[in-house]
C-alpha cells in the first residue's frame, strides 16, 4: 500500500505538470489516441518477450511512436485531416491490441491494462515510474520558456526563432513517456483523466501559467493519493477512483472558482444587475426630484 501511494504521488505529479501543456496546446484528443494505441505494443511485447515491465514499456513506446508517425503520414500524404486519421488509427490499434491480448499464450487479465491496478505495482514498475519522472519533469522545466512561447502563438514563436516543430515532437515524446508511467496506475482508458483534469481545474482558478504548471502537479499528486485511499477504504477499483476524485475537484472548480466558476459568475451577474438597478433608481429619483427642485426656486 505504501509503495502504491508513493507511485501514485509521483505519477500524479508528473502527469499533472504535463497536463498544463496538454490543455493549453489542445492536445486532449491526441493524448487520448496515444493512450489507446499503447495497448497493441503491450500485447506484442507480452507475446514475444513475456511479462516483464521493461518489455511492456518498450512495446508501448514503439506502438505510440508508430501511431504518432502514422497519423502524420496519413494526414500529410492524403486529403484526410489529422483528427480523422487520429481517430481511425487509435480505434484500429486499440482493437488490434485487444485481439492480440486474447491470442496471447500467457493468460493475462485484460482489465489490468485497460483500467490499471496500482496495488499490483512491482519494484521494477516503481523504478520505471521514477525514471520517467526524472526525465519528464526536468525537461519540462528546462524548456518552459520556448514551450510557453509556442503554446501562446506558434507562428509568432517561430518568427522569434523558437524551433516549433522540434518542440512539438519533444512534447509528444514526453506525453508518451508519462502515459506509460500511468499505465500501471489507471490503465489505458483512464490515463487521459490524469493528464487533463489537474490543469483544467487550475485553468478555471488562475490566470498564471506558473500556477497551472506547478499547481497542476500538486493537484494531480493530491488527487491521485486521495483517490487511491478512497478506493482502499471502500474497496473500489483504484484507477476509476483516482479519476473520479480528480473529476469531482474539477467540478467544484467549475462551479465555485471565484473568477471563472459558473455558479460564482451567476451570483456575480446578479450582483451587477442589482448595482445597475440601484444606479437606475437613484438616477430616476434625481430626475423626478429635479422638476420639483426647479419649482421651489
- For other proteins, the closer of residues 135 and 148 by Cβ is 148
Give the integer Cα–Cα distance in Å for 150 and 157. 5
| 250-256 contacts at long range (C-beta below 8 A, 24 or more positions apart) | 250/197, 250/200, 250/201, 250/204, 253/201, 253/202, 253/204, 253/205, 254/204
Give the integer Cα–Cα distance in Å for 99 and 45. 14
Asked whether position 158 contacts other proteins by CB under 8 A, the answer is: yes
Q: Among 21, 57, 94, 203, which residue sits at the site for other proteins (rule: CB under 8 A)?
A: 203
The burial of 13, by beta-carbon neighbours within 10 Å (0-12 exposed, 13-18 middle, 19 or more buried), is given as: buried
Stretch touching other proteins by CB under 8 A, among 112-120, 139-147, 242-250, 265-273:
139-147
Asked whether position 116 contacts other proteins by CB under 8 A, the answer is: no
Q: Are 32 and 9 in contact (CB under 8 A)?
A: no
Q: Among 78, 111, 208, 284, which residue sits at the site for other proteins (rule: CB under 8 A)?
A: 208
Q: Among 45, 60, 121, 212, which residue sits at the site for other proteins (rule: CB under 8 A)?
A: 212
Asked whether position 149 contacts other proteins by CB under 8 A, the answer is: yes
- For other proteins, the closer of residues 116 and 220 by Cβ is 220
- For other proteins, the closer of residues 91 and 142 by Cβ is 142
Asked whether position 77 contacts other proteins by CB under 8 A, the answer is: no
Asked whether position 24 contacts other proteins by CB under 8 A, the answer is: yes
Asked whether position 209 contacts other proteins by CB under 8 A, the answer is: yes
Give the integer Cα–Cα distance in Å for 78 and 96. 23
Q: Among 77, 106, 161, 296, which residue sits at the site for other proteins (rule: CB under 8 A)?
A: 161
Asked whether position 171 contacts other proteins by CB under 8 A, the answer is: no
User: What's the closest the beta carbon of residue 95 comes to other proteins, in angstroms?
Assistant: 35
Look-up: residue for cell 426647479? 294
Give the integer Cα–Cα distance in Å for 87 and 82. 9
Q: Are 108 and 55 in contact (CB under 8 A)?
A: no
Q: Are 104 and 112 in contact (CB under 8 A)?
A: no
The footprint of other proteins (CB under 8 A) covers 24, 142-143, 145-146, 148-149, 151-153, 155-156, 158-162, 203, 206-209, 211-212
Amino acid at each position: 500500500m505504501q509503495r502504491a501511494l508513493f507511485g501514485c504521488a509521483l505519477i500524479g505529479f508528473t502527469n499533472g505538470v504535463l497536463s498544463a501543456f496538454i490543455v493549453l496546446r489542445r492536445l486532449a484528443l491526441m493524448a487520448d489516441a496515444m493512450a489507446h494505441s499503447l495497448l497493441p505494443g503491450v500485447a506484442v511485447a507480452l507475446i514475444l518477450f513475456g511479462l516483464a515491465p521493461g518489455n511492456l514499456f518498450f512495446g508501448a513506446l514503439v506502438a505510440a511512436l508508430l501511431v504518432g508517425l502514422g497519423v502524420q503520414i496519413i494526414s500529410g500524404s492524403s486529403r484526410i485531416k489529422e483528427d480523422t486519421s487520429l481517430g481511425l488509427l487509435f480505434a484500429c490499434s486499440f482493437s488490434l491490441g485487444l485481439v492480440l491480448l486474447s491470442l496471447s499464450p500467457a493468460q493475462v487479465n485484460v482489465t489490468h491494462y485497460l483500467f490499471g491496478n496500482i496495488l499490483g505495482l512491482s519494484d521494477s514498475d516503481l523504478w520505471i515510474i521514477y525514471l520517467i519522472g526524472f526525465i519528464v519533469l526536468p525537461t519540462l522545466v528546462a524548456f518552459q520558456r520556448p514551450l510557453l512561447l509556442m503554446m501562446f502563438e506558434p507562428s509568432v514563436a517561430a518568427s522569434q526563432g523558437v524551433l516549433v516543430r522540434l518542440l512539438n515532437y519533444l512534447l509528444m515524446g514526453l506525453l508518451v513517456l508519462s502515459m506509460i508511467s500511468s499505465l500501471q496506475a489507471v490503465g489505458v482508458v483512464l490515463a487521459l483523466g490524469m493528464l487533463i483534469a489537474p490543469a483544467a481545474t487550475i485553468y478555471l482558478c488562475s490566470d498564471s501559467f506558473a500556477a497551472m504548471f506547478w499547481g497542476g502537479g500538486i493537484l494531480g499528486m493530491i488527487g491521485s493519493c486521495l483517490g487511491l485511499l478512497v478506493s482502499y477504504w471502500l474497496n473500489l477499483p483504484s484507477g476509476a477512483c483516482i479519476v473520479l476524485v480528480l473529476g469531482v475537484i474539477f467540478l467544484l472548480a467549475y462551479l465555485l472558482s471565484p473568477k471563472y466558476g459558473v455558479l460564482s459568475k451567476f451570483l456575480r451577474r446578479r450582483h451587477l444587475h442589482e448595482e445597475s438597478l440601484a444606479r437606475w433608481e437613484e438616477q430616476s429619483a434625481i430626475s423626478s426630484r429635479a422638476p420639483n427642485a426647479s419649482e421651489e426656486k
